[in-house]
């Protein structure tokens, strides 16, 4: 990616964020974000990645209040930037001999300087996407065993509006040609949408009682913004109370996807503000979904069941 292309990527990402912020401001002026009512969830178990801070913490907290047994990834240690750590986490979790009804793929980094995971992957792609791809695949057998007719197990993956301005470069998923933190972040969020849709097609084809949906939390006041443009940090510091969602407000769509009866047995949806909406048109391209899935299997050592 040339410097000019990197600048364009940054402008597209900030434009997408500005559009979301404007929509949130208008909604707040019209009454704000009202907390939905969620049904109790006794005897159900959830894993939430990145559950010690921000949206993940709010998600885990609310699920626990609904009666769920919540495993927070970090308390039961798992480094999503390490394939070995993910496999060790899954092994330890399976030793607990408890079911798994909900997996919320929430953890992530945003617009970090160019650096690599322990396995040599670009950090946005490796942690935000590949880490969750591997974790989900390793836990699918438990989700299948825990789901039942009328009580499906659920995979909820957190993407972002930046996926609308992203491009998936299948020839350079590691952003090695010319690094742009903005393009790399947006690409990781686009990959998560493609992954979710393909996962749902596989689950539906096998007739399992597991669903997969993807959520967009909006622009939320968390610590993820420490690497963004200084002007954005200044706006956040001064006006986050008005323009940004709180972590609790940002978590509501994840919780909705995890527990609402309206989504029982329903997958392959992109959800924003607790409602279904359309994702970027290219995310519905089944050939691209398949290509990304196969390449991800190669990168993580997961058997590609679609071949």
- For residue 93, what are the CA distances in angstroms to 45, 71, 76, 219, 303? 12, 9, 8, 32, 21
d(CA 252, CA 130): 25
Q: Alpha-carbon distance 294 to 289, whole Å? A: 9
Q: Is the dihedral of CA 278, 282, 285, 288 positive or negative?
A: negative
Strand, helix or coil for residue 36: coil
Q: Is the dihedral of CA 213, 134, 297, 81 positive or negative?
A: positive
Residue 175 contacts residue 1 (beta carbons within 8 Å)? yes
Phi, psi of 157 (to 5 degrees): -120, 130
Residue 14 a catalytic site member: no
Catalytic residue among 185, 256, 270, 272: 185
Q: Which residues contact 115 (CB under 8 A, 6 or more apart)?
A: 123
Question: Residue length, the chain?
Answer: 307
Distances (CA, A) of 3 to 180, 183, 253: 8, 12, 36
Which of 145, 166, 140 lies closest to 155 in space, CA to CA?
140
Which residues participate in catalysis according to the annotation? 185
């Amino acid at each position: 990616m040339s410097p000019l292309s990197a600048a364009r990527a940054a402008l597209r990402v900030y434009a997408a964020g500005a559009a979301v912020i404007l929509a949130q401001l208008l909604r707040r002026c019209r009454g704000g974000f009202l907390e939905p009512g969620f049904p109790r969830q006794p005897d159900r178990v959830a894993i939430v990645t990145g559950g010690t801070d921000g949206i993940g913490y709010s998600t885990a907290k609310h699920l626990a209040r609904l009666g769920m047994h919540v495993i927070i990834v970090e308390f039961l240690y798992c480094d999503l930037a390490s394939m070995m750590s993910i496999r060790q986490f899954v092994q330890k979790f399976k030793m607990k001999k408890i079911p798994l009804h909900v997996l919320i793929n929430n953890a992530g980094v945003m617009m970090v300087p160019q650096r690599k995971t322990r396995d040599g992957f670009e950090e946005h792609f490796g942690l935000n996407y590949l880490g969750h791809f591997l974790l989900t695949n390793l836990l699918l057998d438990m989700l299948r065993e825990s789901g039942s007719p009328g009580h499906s197990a659920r995979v909820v993956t957190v993407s972002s509006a930046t996926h609308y301005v992203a491009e998936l470069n299948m020839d350079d998923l590691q952003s090695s040609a010319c690094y742009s933190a903005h393009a790399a972040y947006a690409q990781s969020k686009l990959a998560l949408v493609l992954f979710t849709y393909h996962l749902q097609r596989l689950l539906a084809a096998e007739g399992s009682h597991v669903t997969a949906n993807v959520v967009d939390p909006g622009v939320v006041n968390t610590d993820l913004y420490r690497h963004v443009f200084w002007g954005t940090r200044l706006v956040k510091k001064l006006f986050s109370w008005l323009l940004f969602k709180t972590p609790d407000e940002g978590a509501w769509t994840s919780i909705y996807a995890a527990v609402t009866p309206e989504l029982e047995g329903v997958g392959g949806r992109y959800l924003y503000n607790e409602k279904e909406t359309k994702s970027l048109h290219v995310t519905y391209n089944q050939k691209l979904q398949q290509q990304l899935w196969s390449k991800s299997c190669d990168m993580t050592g997961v058997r590609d069941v679609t071949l």
